[in-house]
Amino acid sequence: MSPRTLIRALLLLASGLGWFLSAGAGALCPVDDPELAVGQWRTHLPLNKVSCVEKVGTRVYAGCTGGIFVFDTEDGSLERITRVNGLNDVEVAVLSYSQAYQTLIVGYANGNLDLYRNGQWVALDAVLKANLPVGKKIRSIHQAGRFAYLCYGFGMVELDLAKTEIRSTFVIGPGGRYLGVNALVAQDSFWYAATDSGLYRARQDAPNLQSFEFWQRDTAWGTQKIPGLALYRDSLVTFRRDSLILYKDGGQRALVINLGVDNVFVGVSGGQLLVVNAFRTVRLDANLALSNYPIPDGVVSPSMAIYDGYQVWMGDLGGGLFRFTPWETYRYQPEGPSTDKVFQLRSHARGTALAGGAYSSVFGNTFDPAGAALLTGNRWRALNRQTLGGVGNLYDVTGAFPDPNIEGRVWLSSWGQGLWQVDGDSARGYGVGNSALQVQQGTSNVVRLSGVDMDASGALWMSNFGAPKPLVVRYPNGTWNSFATGGQTELLDMLVDRAGNKWMRNRSGGLVVMDASNTRYVTVTTNEGNGGLPSSQVICMAMDRDGAVWLGTSQGPVVFYNPSAVFRSSFNATRLKIQQEQFVGYLLGTEQIMSIAVDGANRKWFGTTNGLWLFNPECTQLLAQFTTRNSPLLSDQILALAVDPVAGEVLVGTDRGLMGYRSSATQGVQVQGDVHAFPNPVEPDFEGYLSVRGLVTDAWIKITDASGQLVYQTKADGGQVSWNLRDPSGRRVNSGVYLVHAVAFDSFDLSAQTVVAKVVVLTRNNE
């Protein structure tokens, strides 16, 4: 019996057991697409900033800050290639394909290289690891037989495609100094290099092209930067501001493309010359006759273009990939956030919000326009000056908080422009004059907010940095109030604990905590009896599912199990100890804790400058540690964390962008309702975990076959259970229908046990 025939038979069996196949029953219809299995990673990176384009057969590759997306002209599909499924880095700068060696070369902004051939990815990190004092960003690639010449800010590198190795480095500046090379072409018997200081050339048969002595600057081109170079119809072609410059037989010819509009790219593909500027893409034939492709709506900053003999493909640094046919224009932009910057993350059942702004190291403005982004299901929505009406020149969004009580509402805090209430595509601002917010002392119009949080009544609390009364609240009825905290006015972030106390980080060190009645505040410091913090540098705060407040400092984490104890005459945080093998030491030692998140099972996730750590609820056992060495993490510098309570996805913000990891825990429910099993059915080649979410919190789970034979039992992680498809002996279970039974973990009434899900498992014949 074939696997597909077996699936149909099992589905009929499941139907006979009372299985209603619908999205509500959570059987075969996934609630989100694509479903991320437990233990899997995915990137949440912008794939709209296309820096380079290459076409190989029917597949068009678009290199982006977040990786590569591929559009197949044959079937119209879009495929993502990222750090999770092939690439070894992010921020793709250049793509080049060698037909002779059937190899796609991927060059990154940090100097790293990937080669893709025969379905395999090969990393070459020699340039990345090289000790160079100048920029390593790859600028262009020139193909020449078995060699590819890679142009960098320090010179050029010769890549041997036959041996898959770096063979030579060319440093061609006068006296052997580093000189940035933007492009390389070959004409007649010479190499021509467009550099940051004019045009250099060398004979191709020179005895040692690695030596600067064989490279001479062509004085006819001067010492100005030559941003690009192409060879077209025996002419060397570059551009200068709004003009195309053609050089042949010692003479130059200038052709203005768009008066007053700077060109950004020149190249040859499909036997045609292409020029790109902010106004249009131009294709020139052998007679230099122009075919124009005006820039359409949605373009932010064109980067380059190629021609495939029929249509033009143009990359844009913000708008994605554009396709110009003789009759129509198409745009391709995969789902993703609008920014790769992560300053803060907040998540609850209505979605996850990312704040992409920042403040400087001295708490000034950076004027970052990234704004914020909202993730709902698998859909990202940008919240910035381009997408929201009424925000004007919005910048430095330091906090984004999805309102848990009002569908579609998001609160944005900004470092200089107060608070923004976002509803749909419009926003309303709050500052001096229409709220209790105040300007930073010593300024005339700067209203700084670094954090917002909401209490159980729906009141929104804010830290108004530098204001005379820095604790500000907006009540659900729309009224406002503010409260003084003595001389402590430069307050950052906001956490409202279960008792209604407000916790705020103090710029000068430690914390300020205001009680629920807003009549008393205390400072929390390193002094014994006044907090006993291991460091005055408090970086982050989080509240767990038991109401305890956790603090991340530059010298490890601490916890206040009874947060209201800070209002006693003497109090100290608890610094936990943990045993690792034969050694006992403080939890995470002296790691710098950048962020803390708590999942549905009350487990603690710590983001540090050395990766991501997961501990059990009591933090007595290390459950997992993720770094760039053992996982697809983009970076070991973890800046922000949040956990989607419904899906169980851990959102990990790094200094190189955002990632997601599907953990085994979700937030449970009080009364058992519909659950979701995934994947379902389980295909024979699936090697991960079958997971069931939407369970009663901490339920006791039993999984049986259709005859009632027990194959697995455990306690749910919050509202989710994950099973490795093995029976008690460690063997993969046979093909069949399996029943998931749940009973409240604290119940002794086995009659309360119910079947909450039925799943189909398929196994290969030899297992």
Domain boundaries, the chain: 3-35+667-761, 525-663
156 alpha-carbon distance from chain centroid: 31
Which amino acid would we find at residue 335?
E
- Nearest Cα to 273, choosing from 241, 229, 329? 229
Helix, coil or strand: residue 221: helix
Edge to edge, the sheet with strand 549-553 lists 538-543, 549-553, 556-560
C-alpha distances out from residue 176 to 14, 158, 172, Å: 75, 17, 6
Residues 711 and 233: their CA atoms lie apart, in Å, by: 72
Per-residue DSSP letter, 627: -
Residues 387 and 298: their CA atoms lie apart, in Å, by: 11
Which amino acid would we find at residue 610?
N
Which amino acid would we find at residue 79?
E
Question: Tokens for 642?
Answer: 């949040």
CB 305 within 8 A of CB 274: yes
Residues 759 and 715: their CA atoms lie apart, in Å, by: 19
Sign of the CA dihedral with 180 first, then 186, 191, and 192 last? negative
Helix, coil or strand: residue 227: coil
183 membership: H or E segment, kind and range: strand 181-187
Residues 295 and 388: their CA atoms lie apart, in Å, by: 23
Contacts of 746 (CB under 8 A, 6+ apart): 698
Question: Tokens for 315?
Answer: 């990359």
Q: Which fold has domain 3-35+667-761?
A: Immunoglobulin-like (2.60.40)
DSSP letters spanning 635-673: -S-EEEEEE-TTT-EEEEEETTEEEEEE-S-B--BSS--
E-strand stretches of 285-328: 290-294, 302-307, 312-316, 320-324
C-alpha distances out from residue 733 to 40, 343, 385, 715, 736, Å: 22, 45, 54, 20, 8
- Sequence length of the chain is 767
Helix, coil or strand: residue 12: helix
C-alpha distances out from residue 306 to 105, 157, 232, 298, 501, Å: 16, 24, 14, 19, 59
Other beta carbons less than 10 A from residue 82's beta carbon? 24
Helix, coil or strand: residue 4: helix
**So what's the pLDDT on residue 582?**
66
CB 162 within 8 A of CB 146: yes
61 membership: H or E segment, kind and range: strand 59-64
CB 370 within 8 A of CB 347: no
| pLDDT averaged per 10 residues, the chain (length 767) | 45 37 26 64 91 95 93 91 91 94 94 92 89 87 93 93 91 90 91 93 86 86 90 90 85 85 92 92 89 88 93 93 91 89 91 93 93 90 91 94 92 96 94 95 93 94 96 96 94 96 95 95 96 95 95 96 94 89 83 95 95 94 94 95 91 95 79 76 82 81 86 84 85 86 61 71 69
**So what's the pLDDT on residue 581?**
67
Residues 380 and 619: their CA atoms lie apart, in Å, by: 33
- Nearest Cα to 461, choosing from 430, 482, 488, 484? 482
Asked whether the bond before 679 is cis by omega within 30 degrees of 0, the reply is yes
Helix, coil or strand: residue 619: coil
Contacts 24+ apart (CB under 8 A), 513-520: 513/563, 513/566, 513/567, 514/471, 514/483, 514/485, 515/564, 515/567, 518/471, 518/483, 520/567
Residues 109 and 85: their CA atoms lie apart, in Å, by: 19
7 membership: H or E segment, kind and range: helix 3-16
CB 292 within 8 A of CB 324: no
pTM: 0.84
**So what's the pLDDT on residue 213?**
85
Angle formed at CA 562 by CA 557 and CA 567, multiple of 5 degrees: 105
Per-residue DSSP letter, 257: S
CB 53 within 8 A of CB 306: yes
Q: Which fold has domain 525-663?
A: Methylamine Dehydrogenase; Chain H (2.130.10)
Taking each continuous run of H as one helix and of E as one strand, the counts in the chain are 2, 66
